[in-house]
Amino acid sequence: MPKIIALLTLWMAPAVVAQDDPCGTVPDGVEVRFVFVVDCSGSMGSRVDDRGGPFRYEVVREELNRQIDLLPEGDGVGLYLCAFSDKIKTTLNYESLDDTQRQLAKRKINGKDFEPGGETALRDAVITTLRDQQRWLQQDPTQRFVMVVILTDGKDSNRGASEADLIREFERIKRFEQQFSCAGHLTAAEVYLNGSANRALSNKRLAGFVQGIDASKKAVQILPISVLVSSTEMTAHPMAGRTTLQLEVNSSCPKELVQLRCPYSIEVEGMRVGSGQISLKNGRQEVNLEFPSVFQGFDKETSGVLRLDIASLRSDSGQPLTGPQEIPFTIAAAANIELDPNRVNIQPPSPRVGQTVTISYREVPGVPGVWSREDGGALESFNSGWTVKTRFNSPGDQTLSLTGAPKAPRSSNSISISVPVIATEVQIAPVSKTLSTGDPVTFSASVTPEADVARWRWELNGMKQASTGPELKIDALDQSGNLRLEVSAFLQSDSG
């Protein structure tokens, strides 16, 4: 049967959580790049709140150092840093992370490039970073993922790129994801440190592209979280409208989040066919799908979407994670129908003339079957046309044909079968002696092949006899000369 072979991806935006355990590992064959775009403008030299406390850039430095230690392990993990003020001050890009590279990255973060000063060219920095990441994604769109975390304390104060420019950049990325069926492979979140009134990117116009996280009331703690969900099997035509979708979850979530259950819903061709919750714990999970009776099947390539309501989840610190994630997938069109004559079931295998025979083929869900008789005889159809009942009025091999009737562009072959119909014969057992007038005699009859007889009719020289059974007993034969004996058998209705 056709199967879904699709890669469904989800990158949760950074959560504001405290976490001291590494995030886990990235699945083999997958490359993940964690990107930090850091505001190093003059306002980052201000204190976190009016009551004193640490400077904003010190908080960010401390947390970035900690998070570099917590990034997932594995050859597929990369790190990209961009520090900016009125222009991009420095960038750092590691395709993989070992202990030496983590230490070099920390040294960069603690250096002068991350000290506050200048204006805030936020949009310029984000657009430059997004373009760098898209070029990286294009090299392997289905197996590469980017998590962009933007840390800033205020709105763009530079006269560079406009908000419309930034929106166009995100829309260009969205079109790229649609083209390569890799929606969700680049996600972005803004951690704003100076209250929601000063959010720079996660406002109403940009909310569909950038998730906002308010860190103004506590020290920011950034934790990139990744969950890779890949589908394995689903039949293109579910039996009785029900089927299951197997999801393989590979998560690099920290311990406090791996036990969470994320609400999901699944739509196919605009119809909701499943909902529930999936665990963020690694391993295979099964979700149930039920298609409505009005659904006409998968005669063509069919589009679906898995929606994960990450916004309903909360970390231990109470912070939301990210907004709804929509992961599109495609169900390949079901294959053309190939009928096999060896799979036809005939009951009884050799019916008699006039006997009801049932001929069936296992139903192909969503597709009618069409039987026909070569002699044009009547058929009574069941199970969407895949089962028929009929009777034949003459003996010999009777030919029927079957074809499926899927919607275009699918097609079906035709098969022919032969039903051997047997004529029923009545036989009278021979009498063992020469009869004389006045002799008692018993005549016996049988049918070949054996069948259930409802009643018998006997005639002797054209006169109907009283017997309705397989024997005719005469106590004293009162006729002479040549005798003409006729017997008829009337079979049970289920025998013909």
Maximum distance among all alpha carbons in the chain? 138
CATH of domain 341-421: 2.60.40
CATH of domain 425-491: 2.60.40.10
What tens-digit pLDDT sequence spans the chain (496 residues)?
Answer: 222 222 222 333 333 333 344 444 565 667 888 889 999 999 888 887 766 678 888 888 888 888 888 777 767 788 899 999 988 887 889 888 888 889 999 999 999 888 999 999 999 999 999 999 889 888 887 777 788 888 888 777 877 888 889 889 988 888 887 777 665 667 777 777 776 767 777 667 777 777 776 665 554 444 444 445 554 445 555 555 677 777 766 655 555 566 678 888 888 888 888 888 887 776 777 777 787 766 666 677 777 888 877 666 665 555 445 544 666 667 767 778 899 999 999 999 989 888 899 999 998 877 899 999 999 999 999 988 999 999 998 999 999 999 999 887 788 999 999 999 988 788 888 776 778 888 888 888 888 777 777 788 888 888 888 888 888 898 888 877 777 878 777 777 554 4
What residue ranges of the chain are covered by domains with CATH 2.60.40.10?
Answer: 425-491
End-to-end alpha carbon distance in the chain? 40
* pLDDT at 17 (0 to 100): 33
CATH second-level architecture of 7-331? 3-Layer(aba) Sandwich (3.40)
pTM: 0.52
What residue ranges of the chain are covered by domains with CATH 3.40.50.410?
Answer: 7-331
